[in-house]
């Protein structure tokens, strides 16, 4: 077992399982994906720590526990089509690629998207399609999605994303102010967009979702 694998197992047991995430598929994928390959070399020793880390361009790779919590909230079985908004380093994307059938991921910063694509290709994540642009519009041509995950904080739930959710599909999104948000799971209950079930998963602090249906800048 290599050094990083030991750190990954500790991360899963102490930071994730101990805090109540019980989805075994999520736990085993997080014990497998090499998070240290998604951070800058200078931060490699901190890759499995219990906190977010900078990835450049004033953005972050999320805390491992938050990645696990958001992933588990989608309740993936392996057959789903998932949209991720905010590719960042590509770490969360790699986790989703292992747990869903197809992943579509949008990042607004081209340099981050290029770095993420490189790592995802190196890990043979060939079921991931990526696009650079404003993800707050979603990816309508590929909709409906069984799950949508937004990895940046929005002022409110964008209706345009609910429209792209399959009936029964789940949207996981941090919403609230620019300093702190609530992590929501919104389940589309019927074709009528007014019939949604909204659950608050926890308080959280994310970088801004910047775009037409997010913050202005
Ligand atoms: N999940 C990522 C990871 O594992 O590294 C972390 C994502 S980081 C917290 C949020 C990302 O959302 C940033 O890379 C940011 O550039 C991106 N972002 C913000 N607004 C966006 C938008 N409208 N469309 C696409 N990406 C956006």
Atom index in ligand 1 nearest the CA of residue 52 equals: 9
Give me ligand 1 centre to Cα 32, in Å: 23
205 close to 179: Cβ distance less than 8 angstroms: yes
Residues 92-130: tens digit of each pLDDT: 999 999 999 999 999 999 999 999 999 999 999 999 999
Give the model confidence (pLDDT) of 23-63 as tens digits. 999 999 999 999 999 999 999 999 999 999 999 999 999 99
Split at pLDDT 50, 70, 90, the class of 1 is low
Q: Which atom of ligand 1 is nearest to the CA of 106?
A: 25
Q: Tell me if residue 190 is catalytic.
A: no
The Cα–Cα gap between 146 and 130 comes to 17
Calculate how far, in angstroms, residue 107's C-alpha sits from the geometric centre of ligand 1: 6
Query: Which atom of ligand 1 lies nearest, measured to the CA of 88?
Result: 14
Going by pLDDT thresholds of 50, 70 and 90, the confidence category of residue 2 is confident
Ligand 1 near 174 CB (within 6 A) = no
Crossing angle of helices 91-99 and 110-122, rounded to 10°: 50
């Amino acid at each position: 077992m290599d050094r990083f694998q030991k750190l990954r197992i500790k991360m899963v047991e102490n930071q994730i399982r101990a805090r109540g995430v019980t989805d075994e598929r999520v736990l085993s994928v997080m014990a497998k994906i090499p998070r240290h390959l998604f951070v800058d070399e200078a931060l490699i020793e901190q890759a499995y720590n219990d906190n977010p880390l900078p990835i450049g361009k004033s953005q972050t790779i999320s805390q491992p526990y938050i990645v696990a919590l958001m992933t588990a909230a989608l309740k993936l079985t392996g057959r789903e089509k998932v949209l991720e908004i905010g590719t960042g380093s590509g770490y969360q994307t790699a986790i989703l690629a292992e747990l869903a059938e197809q992943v579509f991921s949008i990042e607004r910063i081209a340099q981050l998207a290029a770095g993420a694509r490189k790592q995802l290709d190196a890990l043979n994540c060939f079921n991931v399609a990526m696009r650079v642009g404003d993800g707050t519009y979603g990816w309508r041509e590929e909709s409906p999605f069984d799950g949508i995950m937004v990895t940046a904080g929005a002022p409110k739930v964008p209706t345009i994303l609910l429209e792209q959710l399959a009936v029964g599909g789940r949207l996981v999104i941090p919403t609230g102010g620019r300093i702190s948000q609530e992590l929501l799971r919104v389940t589309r209950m019927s074709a009528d967009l007014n019939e949604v079930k909204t659950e608050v998963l926890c308080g959280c602090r994310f970088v801004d979702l910047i775009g037409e249906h997010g913050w202005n800048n």
